[in-house]
Amino acid sequence: MTPSDRDAWATALDELAAQIHPVDRVATRIWFRFFPLRLAEAVAGTTDVATLERSLRLEGRYRLADQVDSSHWFLYGHRYWGAVKTDVARAEAEGAVPSTLVAAVRQVASQAASTVRADVSLLLGISAVAVMTRQQVGAAAFNRPAERVAGVPRLLKAPEAIVSTRQRNDTQGIFGVFRGERRRYSVWFDERRRDGRFPIVNQQHVTTAGAADTRAYEYNRGYSQSGPIPAQCRSGSCGTCWVGVLGGAEKLSEVERLEARRLQECGYLDDPAGTPFIRLACMARAAGNVTIVIPPWNGFVGKSPR
């Protein structure tokens, strides 16, 4: 893997974006930020992983090879993973080598769509994830029998219904218009669960609202901060509260200079001036319902060799 690989993938995702169904268009981009080539390159290029983890302050499950079959749970296309994975392995076994990454993704998506009888737009995102996963983890890890995660349901609504739900706000009731700053919304952090959300007051920071959720969460990774979103500082210094925004990005406050700088330093977003689908939750204030996904790790990948 080289910088040219990263450039090729950036170009491929740009070309595929309009053809990916809206339910997974942003989710696909988020997955590629959660498991970037830069991190895989840093790990593959060292014989002292422990030192790398300390230097990049890596916490959590950052190894894609350890979650080949579950890393993409927040994509609607996750339900088609078995078919997509089979077609990636089949194409490799048959020696089929498409000329470009886009052609490779389209080939896998087309074959898998025929198998599961679904629209190809619903499989393009998960197919891109599969091709990248195979590139990062290698054939042996990729082709292992799929792991089964008990008690983790997939997204159950139809794709159009999911897109519509992500755009809606909670009703404010008949007197809601008079409450001004006390309007209340929801931050959904796990669309698979009926209770996968916490309330947020209009213009409240996402981590502040999440901290009021006293339920126990695996996401905390040992931090003292309560709630589902890992955080250590609430001031943009630690970078641990980064999240992907699946829906409602336009209802969050604009990315300001400090957040933009921290996103770049951490390596979570190379171009913070672009579409803000990665945010630091402690810097983002909500003015409506927002749907997020919490990454399984955090660190300072921006410090890794380029």
What pLDDT, in 10s, does the model give residues 173-192? 765 556 555 799 999 999 99
Q: Please say which residue of 142, 177, 203 terminates a domain.
A: 142
Residue 150 lies in a domain: no
Alpha helices by DSSP H, the chain: 3-16, 22-34, 37-44, 49-55, 81-93, 101-116, 121-142, 159-167, 206-211, 257-266
pTM for the predicted model, two decimal places: 0.92
Torsion from C-alpha of 121, 122, 127, 129, nearest 10 degrees: 120
Q: What whole-number distance in Å separates Cα of residue 34 and Cα of residue 277?
A: 12
Residue 283 lies in a domain: yes
Strands 184-188 and 290-293: parallel
**Are 111 and 194 in the same domain?**
no
Average pLDDT of the residues in 224-242 = 78
**Are 69 and 201 in the same domain?**
no
pLDDT in tens, 25-44: 999 999 999 999 999 999 99
**Are 294 and 167 in the same domain?**
yes
**Are 239 and 292 in the same domain?**
yes
Average pLDDT of the residues in 8-19 = 95
Residue 99 lies in a domain: yes
pLDDT in tens, 199-224: 999 999 999 999 999 887 765 565 55
Gap between the terminal Cα atoms of the chain: 11
Distances (CA, A) of 13 to 76, 172, 181: 17, 38, 39
Model confidence at 151: pLDDT above 50: no
Range of the domain at 268: 159-303
Provide the domain count of the chain. 2
pLDDT of residue 189: 95
Structure-token match 């209009």, residue found:
202
Q: Is 44 exposed, middle or buried (0-12, 13-18, 19+ CB in 10 A)?
A: exposed
**Are 168 and 298 in the same domain?**
yes
Q: What whole-number distance in Å separates Cα of residue 234 and Cα of residue 143?
A: 41
Model confidence at 15: pLDDT above 70: yes
CATH code (residue 263): 3.10.20.30
